[in-house]
Amino acid sequence: MRRLALILLSLVSLHGQQDAAWATLDKAYEHLRQRAYDAAITLFRQAVQLSPRRTDVRKNLAYTLLKVGETEAARDAFAEAMRLDPNDHHVALEYAFLCHETGQTRQARLVFDRIRSTGDATARATAEQGFSNIDRPLAEGIARWQQVIDRDPGNFSAHTELARLAEQRNDWLLAARHFEQAWKIKPQERKLLLDLGRTWKETGKSAESMAALLAASRGPEPRTAEAARALLPDRYPYVYEFRAAIALDPVNTELRRELAYLHLEMGEKPQAETEFQTIVKESPDDLLSSAQLGFLLLQRRDVDNANPLLRKVLDSGTEDELADRVRLALGMPKSLRRREEAPSNKSLTEEARDMAEKSYRAGYLKDALKYLTIAHEQDPLDFNIMLRLGQTHNMLRDDRRALDWFRLARNSQDPSIRSEAQRAYDNLNPQFTRTRTTFWMLPFYSSRWRDGFSYAQVKTELRIDAFRLRPYLSMRFVGDARGGVNQGYPYPQYLSETAFILGGGVATPVYKGMMGWAEAGMALSYLRRTDQTSRGRPDYRGGISFGRAYGHLLGGEKAGAFVENHEDGVYVHRFNRSLLFYTQNKFGYTLIANRVQLYWNGNLTADAKLQYWANFVETGPGVRFRWPGLPSPLVFSVDVVRGVHTVNRHNPRRPNFFDIRVGFWYAFTK
């Protein structure tokens, strides 16, 4: 009876978990239908926690992650689904393809190799092709590098490249042999110790693997040392393992010093003294080893040899506990310097900060984030760490977290940190507000037309989390001072739209400098024009815009060269349904404390209907400038261009023209 009750209780518990999972999955599928992928991913992950044995949930999670571009996370989700159901060959193939796409070539090859012999006919054919696509280039690459080595046995790059290809092909013996040759050629390349430890372990050389990993774990490269420690067994190494590691890496001072201290802990002072003597001989600037050897010599009353070592520590000018220990050993009073009370975690904070900077310089952003987080936990009031955390999250595309850190860093007392954090905050904040209003204006005078023109727009955009496109309301102004030429004639020529354009539309988020938009509205002319029967006309327009800038831009911190490129394709229905294309390019140099730019223009305008007024090229020099006290977005410019119409049919003027344009640009976002 008791056993029956337990079974019933287990069934009820399982049923409750399934109900909870189904409820969560139902919401996830609803979000998926609405293309709210981020919300769907969150719910699928909750369902995985509720029903961890369900492969279908993990597959749905993986496919949704692929939709938002999270390839590595999708790969890991497929890996879990494959682990739960190894016979699902479709999932295994998806996992293999993603492994190959994300650089895990060896794993992809292994999975393809398994499926081509165990899967069904369709899966076997796909796996055979996938295996061939990976294995054939690897085999060809190994053959090519072997030829290079045959001609030049001392070629370091050839050995390392061949070894890495062999590792991807699962040929561990070949990989280990060439990693070993590469290490003999360049023993300063310490990452090779990690490669040796890994490949020797796969070939059954456990002792050699332990030696390589131990040497790598005590080396000066933080990332290599950390990776090696993760592969070492959960115990402290033995003396003979230290000796094997030193034989492999004899110049590793940290490794030899740790062995010396191990001998001291074991009471083996002669062996410790021997190791310290070797260190001092090879690294005479190692004060810690010099002091320790001096202490050992003093203990056996070898004063003549001990004193020079201990005096070297004192003469170095160091003012730490090591120097005080030397003074005590020599019978001298401790230093009378004023000791500042420092928190016990100061060294940990500095070490974490140093590790973060090294990871940063090496491009390992996730490692840098980990170390910066540790440093912040140890010193929560270091605003420079907060700023670096924001910058790291920003580069990892986690802008929401970055915004939080920039918000905190704005409270720094250091003006440079405060201003940099404020600038970063202002750049990121608009994309997370529910509404965003932008305004820009570009008034200028043209000598060619002897007229002043102005272009401006104010736009309020609404951000809806579940909707990719962003709806907006807009008012544009396009006008000029004269209104037209040949006034008084039956058919005057108008130089601009002379209108306020009210409209509403949708726009895509900016992605890598590109944005698409479309809108509909009404153009209201502020003039009574002979070419229009009414002042108000429907207006439909849309287009694609792309812009990128490189180098030292105006308002930056350093002078230097820069390049700007802006591309626009615009469709305007009421301009005879015309499709216009603009490209505007500038390259030049920013100088005078980043207040002045000299550049060269290269512009092209064209349209699909080949109208003369919309087809021309122009080039010439220009200058942009601003001065202190003005709002940072306000920039004045002067451009001198020579142009030529590329289409001259119906052109009432000369094909070539000369123009001087003087104006300014101003914009802001709220």
> 9-41: per-residue pLDDT in tens?
333 343 444 445 677 877 878 878 888 888 888
Of 581 and 88, the one with more pLDDT? 581
- What average pLDDT score do residues 122-130 get? 85
Are residues 577 and 543 in contact, defined by beta-carbon separation less than 8 angstroms?
Answer: no
Q: What are the tens digits of pLDDT across the range 598-655?
A: 999 999 999 988 888 889 999 999 999 887 777 767 889 999 999 999 998 888 888 9
Task: Give the Cα separation of 534 and 26 in Å (integer).
Answer: 55
Task: Provide φ and ψ at 308, rounded to 5°.
Answer: -60, -35
Let me know if residue 147 belongs to a domain.
no
Average pLDDT, the chain: 81
Same domain, 272 and 323: yes
Are residues 120 and 110 in contact, defined by beta-carbon separation less than 8 angstroms?
Answer: no
- What average pLDDT score do residues 132-159 get? 88
The answer for residues whose C-beta is within 8 angstroms of residue 456's C-beta and 6 or more apart is 439, 440, 441, 442, 476, 477
Are residues 610 and 576 in contact, defined by beta-carbon separation less than 8 angstroms?
Answer: no
Let me know if residue 154 belongs to a domain.
no
Task: Give the Cα separation of 559 and 595 in Å (integer).
Answer: 9
Let me know if residue 169 belongs to a domain.
no
Q: Which of 212-221, 327-336, 353-362, 368-377 has the highest mean pLDDT?
A: 212-221
Whether 293 has a pLDDT exceeding 50, the answer reads yes
Residue with tokens 């907060």: 386
Task: Give the Cα separation of 175 and 198 in Å (integer).
Answer: 10
DSSP 8-state class, residue 447: T
pLDDT level of residue 495 (50, 70, 90 thresholds): confident
Q: What is the pLDDT of residue 2?
A: 40
Q: What are the tens digits of pLDDT across the range 161-205?
A: 888 888 888 888 998 899 889 889 988 888 888 889 888 988 889
* Domain final residue pick, 136, 164, 183: 136
Tokens found for residue 535: 């002042």
Let me know if residue 541 belongs to a domain.
no
Same domain, 493 and 632: yes
pLDDT level of residue 63 (50, 70, 90 thresholds): confident
Same domain, 418 and 526: no
pLDDT level of residue 658 (50, 70, 90 thresholds): very high
Let me know if residue 455 belongs to a domain.
yes
- CATH at residue 296: 1.25.40.10
Same domain, 467 and 505: yes
Of 219 and 346, the one with more pLDDT? 219
Whether 313 has a pLDDT exceeding 90, the answer reads no
pTM higher than 0.85:
no
Of 142 and 592, the one with more pLDDT? 142
Task: Give the Cα separation of 56 and 51 in Å (integer).
Answer: 10
Same domain, 441 and 394: no
Are residues 644 and 606 in contact, defined by beta-carbon separation less than 8 angstroms?
Answer: no
Let me know if residue 174 belongs to a domain.
no
Whether 332 has a pLDDT exceeding 60, the answer reads no
Let me know if residue 507 belongs to a domain.
yes
**Beta strand 616-625 with 635-645: parallel, antiparallel or unpaired?**
antiparallel
* Domain final residue pick, 299, 334, 369: 334
Q: Could you tell me which of 130, 50, 52 has the C-alpha nearest to residue 90?
A: 130
Same domain, 501 and 358: no
Task: Give the Cα separation of 80 and 56 in Å (integer).
Answer: 11
Structural domain count of the chain: 5
Let me know if residue 13 belongs to a domain.
no
- What average pLDDT score do residues 421-446 get? 82
* Domain final residue pick, 415, 430, 445: 430
Same domain, 487 and 629: yes
pLDDT level of residue 380 (50, 70, 90 thresholds): low
Tokens found for residue 425: 């905050």
Same domain, 621 and 530: yes
- What average pLDDT score do residues 519-528 get? 86
Q: Under DSSP, is residue 334 helix (H, G, I), strand (E, B) or coil? A: coil
Same domain, 519 and 624: yes
* Max intra-chain CA distance, the chain: 117
Q: Which of 357-361, 459-463, 503-507, 548-552 has the highest mean pLDDT?
A: 503-507
C-alpha count within 13 angstroms, C-beta hemisphere, residue 167? 21
Q: What is the pLDDT of residue 373?
A: 79
Q: Which domain holds residue 661?
A: 435-534+596-602+612-669
Same domain, 27 and 121: yes
Task: Give the Cα separation of 661 and 670 in Å (integer).
Answer: 30
Same domain, 392 and 529: no
Q: What are the tens digits of pLDDT across the range 532-590?
A: 767 888 889 999 999 888 887 776 667 888 899 999 999 888 777 889 999 999 999 98
Q: What is the pLDDT of residue 599?
A: 95
Q: What is the pLDDT of residue 12?
A: 36
Whether 330 has a pLDDT exceeding 60, the answer reads no
Q: What are the tens digits of pLDDT across the range 233-265?
A: 888 888 888 889 888 888 888 888 888 888 887
Same domain, 403 and 356: yes
Q: What angle do CA 453, 456, 458 make, to 5 degrees?
A: 165
Of 298 and 147, the one with more pLDDT? 147
Whether 3 has a pLDDT exceeding 60, the answer reads no
Task: Provide φ and ψ at 78, rounded to 5°.
Answer: -65, -35
